[in-house]
Structure 1
């Protein structure tokens, strides 16, 4: 995205609250806010461009894993596992075919992405809880016992409160399901754990310590 595109987006934003906020700023504050916004948009655009251009391997080798930077390792393994999923096989059935090591990385990468983006409510909604039963074991395997305890309690809440019955597949009901949702307390605990022991770092170290589990 070019800077002139960013300027158009910035100037064309007509949300009333946003415009009121701008009106309360000085000329210097508006200029600084616009500069920071343009920089942020440029960084996000660059991130998505790099994401779209990433190489997805049909299978992994020891050399590929060794040469992959730490910050790209978990996504590289996940992409390969996702690419290897047979067409027509459900997520639940595919998980059964994976070794514990591969299943752990696959399931926990999805968990982290969904919860970071929209909490446990989004995780269960988007995945239909197909991998939920594997999460405690996966956490234990990668050396994350506190995460294991957390997902056990979140799974129990999801089942006991029959939260799946709140959903009908519509966006409106999904958004409404966040109201007074008992899963919210687990979100806060997850984010605190992420700050102390980021899950992607635990997964990266697990892959580095067990490369042969992901080769082939």
Structure 2
């Protein structure tokens, strides 16, 4: 890469990071605000709105989220499941505390119309439950423990299928369409 191209690329990344860190976080969503948010930032705006209701240490995350509308639960659970699986696979999702939202993600996929992802999530939950003892006995909250947990984990075989399905079903678009078609589920 030429020096000039690298500088432009680094500048683009810096701008993206700056924009993200300085984005507007709506503690309350109204119909006017929701309709004014462009699709490209809509999911993040809804996630930020939900997180604004959660304590900074996330100790009340599950209680807060499960008291919200089913639409908000669907967006939150599927968004974070996607983040975790795309970062480290289903193994990472079930390893981390966000896994308490596994069933919520399953129903969330159904709710927004991601039929194939819902079926895959059901398969992941069953596989995890069937192998939970063997999988979790490797956990010890160390890097080595995580690597043991991750290696030869039966959930790993579902990762590539997930990556294909989020594109095939256009997961982000499904969430955006759900929010646009059901705005009352996202208003404060």
Structure 1 CA distance, aligned partners of 2:124 and 2:77?
A: 15
- Given the alignment, which residue of 195, 199, 205 partners 2:171? 199
**TM-score normalised by length of structure 1:** 0.78
Question: Aligned-pair distance for 1:93?
Answer: 2.1
Structure 1 CA distance, aligned partners of 2:150 and 2:59?
A: 31
Moved more, 103-112 or 80-89: 80-89
Structure 1 CA distance, aligned partners of 2:109 and 2:68?
A: 16
Moved more, 147-156 or 78-87: 78-87
Unaligned stretches of 5+ in structure 1? 1-31
Q: Which residue number corresponds to residue 54 of structure 2?
A: 85
SS in 1 for 2:154: coil
Structure 1 CA distance, aligned partners of 2:5 and 2:173?
A: 29
Q: Which residue number corresponds to residue 150 of structure 2?
A: 178
The answer to which structure, 1 or 2, has the higher relative contact order (CA under 8 A, 6+ apart) is: 2
Kept in 2, the 8 Å contact 1:91–1:130? The answer is no
Question: Aligned-pair distance for 1:128?
Answer: 4.9
Kept in 1, the 8 Å contact 2:43–2:175? The answer is yes
C-alpha RMSD over aligned residues: 1.9
Kept in 2, the 8 Å contact 1:102–1:214? The answer is yes
Alpha carbons of structure 1 residues 114 and 40: separation in structure 2 relative to 1, 3 Å = farther
Alpha carbons of structure 1 residues 114 and 172: separation in structure 2 relative to 1, 3 Å = same
Structure 1 CA distance, aligned partners of 2:37 and 2:98?
A: 32
Moved over 6 A (4+): none
Within 5 Å, give how 1:101-120 maps onto structure 2: 101-120=71-90
Within 5 Å, give how 1:38-187 maps onto structure 2: 38-86=7-55, 89-162=59-132, 163-187=135-159
Aligned length: 185
Alpha carbons of structure 1 residues 33 and 134: separation in structure 2 relative to 1, 3 Å = same
Question: Aligned-pair distance for 1:206?
Answer: 0.4
Unaligned stretches of 5+ in structure 2? none
